Structure 1
Amino acid sequence: MSQQRFRRDGTPLYMTVAEVLRQRILRGVWKPGQFLPTIEALMKEFMVARVTVRDAVKILEAEGLLDPRRGRGTMVLPHQPPTRPLSVVTSLSQLVDLYRGDVPDLVSLDDCETDLPEGVSFGTAAPKYHMLRRIHSRDEQRYCVIALYVAKHIFDRHEPALRAKLALPVLFDDPELHIETARQSLIVTKCDMETAELLDLTVGEPMAEVRRIMCERDGTICYLADVIYRGDYIRLDMDLLA
């Protein structure tokens, strides 16, 4: 890292250092009761000024991960990791099974008829969609924001269930819906101001943006979901010999 106060992408350096320290703590590199390396050692490792390290430590102190102790150093505090990391699976059936029977808390943000978002290059749009944008939580921890687009004629058929449950199992079990193709893409990015407020994060923390698209036999998109996950709730497992 350079000694500039900001990285090239505009992220303050102290937030970048805080994220590296946070991930080391959550992965168990430093366990509860242990002390972090000295400020001087962290300054040397990250090539930053003293104030940058101190500001990073303050962030983690406010999160309850660190306890700076005058004359002794900075101690790692006991903490609870995410209780149910979400696996990023690589088949539709696995994805449905992952969510089947799961009933997270749902907080509605938007609920309206609309068109598909711009930039969709796969499949053919239906005449109209119903969009549900909401926050999903588990154990009082908000873990994702999802914008869900369902073709209007399908949404009308399952409206009560789609408002109360996760959408994929509902649609997958519909005998009248014949899904011919399904795609999922994932990119890792950084948290913006709006997402930070919605998911109780700090601006600049890592998050995963996932887009899922399902098409019927004629190529019409019946389902599209744009999902933003907390970075600490995502785990990618792949069988490389499958």
Structure 2
Amino acid sequence: MGMENEKFRQDRTPLFLKVAEVLRQRIMREVWKTGELLPTVNELMEEFRVARVTVREAIKILESEGLVDPKRGRGTTVLPHKAPTRPLSVVTKLSELVDLYRGDVPDLESLDDMLTELPDGVEIGNSAGQYHMIRRIHSRDGQRYCIITLFLAKDIFDKHEAQLRTHLALPVLFDDPDIEISIARQRLLISKCDMESAMHLNLSVGEPIAEVRRVLCDAEETILYMADVIYRGDYIQLNMDLLA
């Protein structure tokens, strides 16, 4: 099919899904605002270098999601739609992160809960030996927005178990006067959703996600807390003060 753009052939995802994703993101970023018309089918065919049926299938997907209203002879109109419920800022200071989470009580859905060891490949710090691992889904207003796997040093978990099972962990640790955090690192990677994450976060396989790893250590560089978090790509935003 000579009309298909080669860059759309780089994986096995059907072309109409790729076109739909590009159009969806443009709508969410308000490249086309509510009430405006999308480019014509012919124009989209030319831009993406795909067949007419591919564009029509992509628009059908957006129609099923309530994002557009295609009318023969009138074009495809962008419909009113909701932005993500509450974009979560990815901050670059521990105190700001704790303040962001303080008082926030999302719905928590447990997936795993066990005594274990740290996984291999942790870049900094030393193991405390035993950790309590909690893996759960966070949601707000009925929308699942992240999967988090927490590793908490056993003595800390035992001390704060009741709170840690029902609240976000960072404020609990930060407010304990006996815990001194000397090292706090955070890494963020943008990647694509796999089958399991897609199932838990109500996404399609291949949609963008953000993977965050946070590690907190004490003065002896013992890891007290580690979290691996997978966020929906449409739920987070990164803001940085470039003059700070």
Shared fold per TM-score greater than 0.5: yes
Equivalent-residue separation in structure 2 for 1:239 and 1:138 (angstroms): 28
- Superposed displacement of residue 38, structure 1: 0.8
1:122 is matched with: 124
1:75 is matched with: 77
2:33 is matched with: 31
Q: Which sits farther off after the overlay, 70-79 or 201-210?
A: 70-79
Q: Which amino acid aligns with 2:72?
A: R
* Structural mapping, 1:92-241, within 5 Å: 92-241=94-243
- Superposed displacement of residue 88, structure 1: 0.7
* 1:148-181 deviation per Cα after TM superposition (whole angstroms, max 9, x unaligned): 1111111011101000000000011111111110
Q: Which sits farther off after the overlay, 60-69 or 170-179?
A: 60-69
Q: Which amino acid aligns with 1:172?
A: F
Are 1:189 and 1:209, in contact at CA under 8 Å, matched by a contact in 2?
Answer: yes
Percent of aligned pairs with the same amino acid: 68
Equivalent-residue separation in structure 2 for 1:129 and 1:59 (angstroms): 44
Q: Which sits farther off after the overlay, 226-235 or 50-59?
A: 50-59
1:3 is matched with: 5
Are 2:4 and 2:51, in contact at CA under 8 Å, matched by a contact in 1?
Answer: no
Q: Which sits farther off after the overlay, 63-72 or 139-148?
A: 63-72
CA 1:5–1:61: 2 relative to 1, 3 Å: farther
- Superposed displacement of residue 127, structure 1: 0.7
- Superposed displacement of residue 113, structure 1: 1.0
Matched, 1:17 2:19: yes
Q: Which amino acid aligns with 2:119?
A: P
Q: Alignment partner for residue 56 of structure 1, among 55, 58, 64?
A: 58
Equivalent-residue separation in structure 1 for 2:6 and 2:56 (angstroms): 16
Equivalent-residue separation in structure 2 for 1:154 and 1:10 (angstroms): 46
- Superposition RMSD on alpha carbons, in Å? 1.7
- Superposed displacement of residue 45, structure 1: 1.0
Q: Which amino acid aligns with 2:203?
A: L
Equivalent-residue separation in structure 2 for 1:173 and 1:61 (angstroms): 48
Structure 1 unmatched runs, 5+: none
Are 1:3 and 1:49, in contact at CA under 8 Å, matched by a contact in 2?
Answer: no
- Superposed displacement of residue 9, structure 1: 3.9
Q: Which sits farther off after the overlay, 52-61 or 213-222?
A: 52-61
Matched, 1:45 2:47: yes
Structure 2 unmatched runs, 5+: none
Are 2:210 and 2:231, in contact at CA under 8 Å, matched by a contact in 1?
Answer: yes
Tell me the secondary structure at the aligned position of residue 189 of structure 1: strand
Q: Which amino acid aligns with 1:87?
A: S
Tell me the secondary structure at the aligned position of residue 54 of structure 2: helix
Equivalent-residue separation in structure 1 for 2:128 and 2:53 (angstroms): 54
Equivalent-residue separation in structure 1 for 2:206 and 2:107 (angstroms): 25
- Superposed displacement of residue 71, structure 1: 2.8
